[in-house]
Amino acid sequence: MSATKPEMLASAGHDTTDVYASRVLDHPTIVPRLDPVVYAKDRASGPLTPEQVRSYEKDGFLVLKSLFSPSEIARLQAELARLRESHAGIDPQTLVLEPGGRELRSIFQIHRSSELFARLASDARLVSIARFLLDDRVYVHQSRLNYKPGFFGKEFYWHSDFETWHTEDGMPRMRALSVSISLTENTELNGPLMLVPGSHRRYVTCVGRTPADHYKQSLRRQEYGVPDPGSLETLVAEGGLVSSTGPAGTVAIFDCNVMHGSNSNVTPHPRSNAFIVYNAVSNALLQPFGGQPPRPEFIAARSRVEPIEAHTSRLA
């Protein structure tokens, strides 16, 4: 599939200032990224090594081991189980079930529902990396627990987070990243995170106008804002496929525009992860570029944009 200049999207009648317009044409396109991947000006004095910075910039993700101690992970695992068993004090709308089932798929806004996960989101080991790569103060755009239970955990289809955050939430530019902390062992068999290296340097526009209240369905199974097979074939032919596996405590950091997804989990072993999305304060949300009303606050922070005050105390 040939790449298309962002300016050509104006042919659909869109404001040319929206250089990442999506879901407006009747055919998919692949356009070049116009934003940096690493915003840091001084790459030698940050929390990552120069080799790690180069790897993140090249591939769009970075996997770190042993960032948290076994006792810290044990505390997070206990909280993971507690929140699954007891929903007391949790906003019911933040609880998402598996498509076609009653098993818990995700809990959103965990940094508002759990003191321990709030501490995790403000942990200096994570916040310092986000501040460095984004070269700005950061806030939590979204947080969630993904349970992916054994036997019943369904797939998360291929997608670029930024395409959805831009179109449905109004995130202006690619200046955000996600952190995934594995709270169970992630193996090749239980539906691990899969990524397309280098795909963050391209932007795949999607086809289909976003329906009203799309989030009510998309949190269980996304049908709009997913790339077409041809674009995926192009990206995978260029970059290949990798999976993020490792023991509980493995941390994956990935750019907002890297193409990623995961398979269903038909093994007896759950694959549970905590996700925290950091956005630059200077990149705070505007009105959604797709024309629909904003999604709820528990999915995309809009009114509660609070720069994180990082703490250095351990979780356990």
The gap from C-alpha 233 to its chain's centroid, in whole angstroms, comes to 21
Name the average pLDDT for the chain.
Answer: 89
**77-86, 95-104, 123-132, 246-255: lowest mean pLDDT where?**
95-104
In a domain, 291, yes or no: no
For the stretch 274-303, pLDDT in tens is 999 999 999 999 999 998 899 999 999 999
**7-21, 44-58, 61-75, 292-306: lowest mean pLDDT where?**
7-21
pLDDT at 17 over 60: yes
CA angle 31, 173, 279 (to 5 degrees): 135
d(CA 258, CA 60): 6
Q: In this structure, are strands 156-159 and 242-244 parallel, antiparallel, or unpaired? A: unpaired
| CATH code for the domain of 249 | 2.60.120.620
In a domain, 312, yes or no: no
In a domain, 300, yes or no: no
Mean pLDDT of 132-147: 97
- Dihedral angle, C-alpha 66, 69, 72, 73, nearest 10 °: 40
In a domain, 310, yes or no: no
In a domain, 90, yes or no: no
Nearest residue to 228 via CA among 15, 22, 11, 5: 22
Q: What pLDDT does residue 213 have? A: 61
The pair of three-digit structure tokens given for residue 252, joined into one six-digit string: 């994956």
pLDDT band at 11 (very low <50, low <70, confident <90, very high): very low
Cα separations in angstroms, 192 against 59, 60, 146, 178, 245: 18, 17, 11, 15, 6
pLDDT at 217 over 60: no
In a domain, 139, yes or no: yes
What is the number of structural domains in the chain? 1
103 lies in which domain range? Answer: 6-84+95-283
d(CA 74, CA 69): 9
Percent of the chain with pLDDT over 70: 90
Mean pLDDT of 101-124: 93
In a domain, 304, yes or no: no
Q: What pLDDT does residue 222 have? A: 55
Task: Find the radius of gyration of the CA atoms of the chain.
Answer: 18
In a domain, 191, yes or no: yes
Q: Where are the beta strands (DSSP E) in the chain?
A: 29-32, 61-64, 95-97, 104-108, 138-146, 156-159, 176-182, 193-195, 202-205, 242-244, 251-255, 260-262, 273-280
d(CA 102, CA 152): 9
Q: What pLDDT does residue 100 have? A: 72
d(CA 315, CA 126): 13
pLDDT at 31 over 90: yes
pLDDT band at 105 (very low <50, low <70, confident <90, very high): confident
**92-106, 131-145, 226-240, 282-296: lowest mean pLDDT where?**
92-106
